[in-house]
Every structure is written in C-alpha cells, then in structure tokens.
Amino acid sequence: MLAYMIRRLILVLPVAFGVSVICFLLVHIAPGDPLTAIMAVDATAEEQAAMRAAYGLDRALPVQFLLWLGNLVQGDLGRSIATGRPVAAEVWRAVQNSLLLAATASAIAFPVGLLLGFIAGYFRDSWIDKTVTSAAIAGVSLPNYWLGMVLVIIFSVKLGWLPAMGAGPAGSDGWAWDWGHVRHLLLPSFTLSVVPIGIVSRTVRALVGDIYRMDFVQALYAKGLSNLDVLIHVIRNAAATALSVMGLQLGALLGGSILIETVFNWPGSGMLLSNAIFQRDLPLLQGTILTLAMFFVAANLVVDILQAAIDPRIQRS
C-alpha cells in the first residue's frame, strides 16, 4: 500500500506541472489587455510601459511563466490588478467559502445518492427503480441556477423562511456555526447537491444491478447467505467505482459552483472567478483557476488511495 501511495504521489507532480502550464497559457492567450481596466484613458506611452513593467507583462511569455512558477513555489500568487491586494489572501478567503458550500452539498448529495442508487439497483426494473431513475434524470436535467431561482422565489420571497443571498447576517465576512449563518447555507447547498444526487444514484444503480447479475452473487445465495450478507458483498464490490464518481463530483462542486454562487451572491471561488473574468484580472484569474485545479487533483489522489485501500486489486494493477 505504501509503494502504491508513493507511485501515485510521484505521478501527481507532472500532472500538477501540466495544469500550471495550461492555466498560465489559457489566461494569456485570451483576447484583451488586462491593464485597460486600471490604466487611465489618457495614459502616456511611458506610463503604459511602466505599468506593464510593474506587472511583468513586458517580458516574453516563457520568462513570465518561469517567474510566475518561481513565485508560485514560494506561495506567492502575485497581486490583484484590480484591487492591489495579494491574490493568495483573496483566493484563500473565497476557497474557504466554496469548500464550506461544497462540503455541505456533498454531505447531502453523497448519502442520498448512494441510498437511492442501492435501493434502485436492489429493486431493479420495479416501480421503485423507475421512480428513483425518473427523479435522478430530472435532477440532472434541471439547470441548477434555474432551480436556485425557483427555490429563492418559494422559500425567500413567498414564504420568507430562508434568506435569498449572502453568507451570513452581517454579509460576506466571517462564518460562525449558528442558525443565522446556517440559514444562508441551506438553499445554495441543497441547490448544488441536486445534480450530484442524480449522477451518483444513477451510477450506483447501474453498478448494483450489474453486480447482482454476476455469478458470484448466485454462488453466495447458493451457500445460504442472507440477503443482508449478499448486499454487504455487493456494496464492497461497488464501493471503489462509487468512490471514483463521488471524487469527480466533489471536484465539480468546488469548481463548478459559479452560477450557484452568482444566484445566491455567495462569496466563494466561483464568484471570485466571475469577477476576475469580467475585470480581466490576470493574476487573480490565474490564482483562482490554479487553486481549484489543484483541489481537483488532490481530491482524485485521495480517491485513488481510498480505492486501493478498499480493493487491493487496484494496487496490483
């Protein structure tokens, strides 16, 4: 197991480097000048040159990448062009809020998706299976931003039960585990959990249904094992693939919540990324994309290790 973990850690290094290269290039090849937002309209050529030199934009692209990578290794993501504040502090504050939202949505989506998937797979082709499958398809098909707006209309505007926007009673700064803050978390986290519930439940339903048709399950029944004992064996065989799907969904929740954060005005990485795009803030855009990508890589690494711990055959492969 230790050798497998070391191999996986070594393989992460070139992946992380490749992600940093892609992140840097994608941002720089986009059209537009990042300094036009903060540079005066009547700025002279000398002032423009000084501004470009201050942000290192006057150098060749490979040199810019090497300087950016060197600072990145030291934990320095640069300074925001729009605000002048350190990008690392801006990104970390936003990522904390996104992690909170993604963790809450995962705590809702994964248990519910697993439970519905196992129930549908166990009662395959029955009315229970058809009901769960229909609900899962509806959850995946509905645009989550539209669902968020509908929930706001129902629970905030009509009923007045839950707040529509923000991360707390005092706005976006700080978080505390009290009812005033938790109320702001309920609607966006539930909205964000709907799509993963559908994906996880459909995946697990297919896995469980296929496993129940395998010969070893019939052999277990022939040996006299109870339905509960057979179900435990089925769960263990489906766990590795289910973990892989949940790991991908966790990464998607971290990086794909930009629309939900916009609808609910949640101060997370999605909102920060949206602002950086509209302001053409290159350092902030690079730092946000890279941080989200690294979280995705780390989530997949953890899933790979957990899969190997559950299924030793993965280590041998």
First to last CA, the chain: 12
Contacts of residue 163, defined as CB under 8 A and 6 or more positions apart, other chains included, come to 156, 183, 184, 187
| The pair of three-digit structure tokens given for residue 243, joined into one six-digit string | 């973990």
What pLDDT score does 42 carry? 63
Identify whether the C-beta of residue 286 lies closer than 8 Å to the C-beta of residue 142: no
Does 315 have pLDDT greater than 80? no
Q: Which of these, 212, 286, 299, lies nearest to 26 by C-alpha position? A: 286
In this prediction, residues 76-92 reach a mean pLDDT of 78
In this prediction, residues 229-236 reach a mean pLDDT of 79
- CATH number for region 87-316: 1.10.3720.10
- Domain assignments of the chain as residue spans, ordered by start: 87-316
In this prediction, residues 21-41 reach a mean pLDDT of 66
In this prediction, residues 2-8 reach a mean pLDDT of 72
Question: How does DSSP classify residue 32?
Answer: S
pTM: 0.77
| The pair of three-digit structure tokens given for residue 272, joined into one six-digit string | 């920060």
Q: How confident is the model over 271-294, as pLDDT tens digits?
A: 787 777 777 777 788 888 888 888
What pLDDT score does 36 carry? 60
What pLDDT score does 1 carry? 66
Does 316 have pLDDT greater than 80? no
What pLDDT score does 43 carry? 64
State the pLDDT confidence band at 246, using cuts at 50, 70 and 90: confident
State the pLDDT confidence band at 148, using cuts at 50, 70 and 90: confident
What pLDDT score does 91 carry? 83
Tracing tokens 């998607």 back to the chain, one arrives at: 252
Identify whether the C-beta of residue 271 lies closer than 8 Å to the C-beta of residue 258: yes
Residue 140 CB neighbour total at 10 angstroms: 16
In this prediction, residues 213-223 reach a mean pLDDT of 79
Collapsing DSSP to helix, strand or coil, 86 comes out as: strand
Report the range of poorest mean pLDDT among 45-49, 203-207, 265-269, 297-301. Answer: 45-49
Q: How confident is the model over 108-136, as pLDDT tens digits?
A: 888 898 888 888 888 887 888 888 888 88
Residue 241 CB neighbour total at 10 angstroms: 16
Q: How confident is the model over 51-81, as pLDDT tens digits?
A: 667 666 667 777 778 877 887 777 777 777 7
Measure the CA–CA gap between 208 and 129, rounded to whole angstroms: 12
In this prediction, residues 129-147 reach a mean pLDDT of 85
What pLDDT score does 231 carry? 78
> For the purposes of burial, counting CB atoms within 10 Å of the CB of 92, is it exposed (0-12), middle (13-18) or buried (19 or more)?
middle
Number of H helices, E strands in the chain: 13, 0
Report the range of poorest mean pLDDT among 28-37, 63-72, 155-164, 252-261. Answer: 28-37
Q: Give Rg (Cα) of the chain.
A: 24
Q: How confident is the model over 165-214, as pLDDT tens digits?
A: 777 776 655 666 777 778 888 888 888 888 889 888 888 888 887 787 77
Q: Which of these, 258, 205, 257, lies nearest to 234 by C-alpha position? A: 205
Q: Percent of the chain beyond pLDDT 90?
A: 0
Identify whether the C-beta of residue 167 lies closer than 8 Å to the C-beta of residue 184: yes
Collapsing DSSP to helix, strand or coil, 278 comes out as: helix
